[in-house]
Structure 1
Amino acid sequence: MQQYENMITRQRKWMFYLLAFLVLGAGFTPYPRIFLGLLLGSIVSFYNLWLMQRKINQFGQAVVEEHSPRGIGSFSRLASSGLAVLIALRFEDYFHLISVIIGLMTAYLVIMIDFSLSRSKD
């Protein structure tokens, strides 16, 4: 269980670093629309990552305690991603739609990179 919690901490830390980089990119580059789109998508992706980690933890606790496990929140994550796309469509002057969609995938990229790095250390 300690290894799982360390993995969660690492992934959240990398997401915070990425969000900080995107804020700097939105503030100091001539492409604020693209970076704001990436930022919006990454924020929703970070929320989805947090939600998925929380639901998986609850799922594991239910299995250990021999309770009936609930779902892992796929509908909630899909709805939040849809909301991000709707925000980008509504405020096209501020958010680049393709960047929002790319930003929605950043949590999965962080998970893959974290997995690769942790496996290479072993």
Structure 2
Amino acid sequence: MENLRQIHNRQKRALFFLLALLVLGWGFTPWPKVFAGLILGILFGLYNFWILVRRMEKFDRTLTEGTRAPSLGSGIRFASGVAAAAIAISLPETFDLIATVIGLMIPYGLMLAERITYHLKHQDSGEKER
């Protein structure tokens, strides 16, 4: 089974490719506000995912050491989501709010899709081990 850092690295590659496509859409389509909102949301979503990975590794370390487990940083991730929405609200001529919120969720949706495909690919090997 892969660790969370490997999953995060694969997600980063996919999201950077998606960001490159969104930059092209921002520059060459008549909807620059929507693409700018998606870009802003994905950047903050990637930051949230990075915080989650970092906190989960710290959580895992403290559990193996037997010390008190820290929080998983939900407040920080929530605050960064609010910051992305605040930027989109304060600059409505540049960013679309709905696209920003959708962009915040894209990394998590991509992670869910990746995990589903991983389990579907490795379904047969798991049945043989039992």
TM over 0.5: yes
Q: Which residue of 2 aligns with 1:111?
A: 111
- Partners of 1:56 and 1:28 in 2: CA distance: 39
- Partners of 1:119 and 1:79 in 2: CA distance: 32
TM-fit CA distance, 1:98: 0.6
TM-fit CA distance, 1:6: 2.5
Q: Is 1:87–2:87 an aligned residue pair?
A: yes
Q: TM-score, normalised by structure 2?
A: 0.88
Equivalent residues in 2 for 1:1-80 (5 A)?
3-4=2-3, 5-80=5-80
CA-to-partner distance for each residue in 1:33-58, whole Å, 9 max, x for gaps?
A: 00000100110000000110110011
- Partners of 2:6 and 2:19 in 1: CA distance: 20
TM-fit CA distance, 1:8: 2.3
Aligned residue-pair number: 121
- The gaps in structure 2 that reach 5 residues or longer are 123-130
- Partners of 1:121 and 1:13 in 2: CA distance: 20
TM-fit CA distance, 1:10: 1.5
Q: Percent identity?
A: 36
TM-fit CA distance, 1:86: 0.6
Moved over 3 A (4+): none
TM-fit CA distance, 1:25: 1.2
Q: TM-score, normalised by structure 1?
A: 0.93
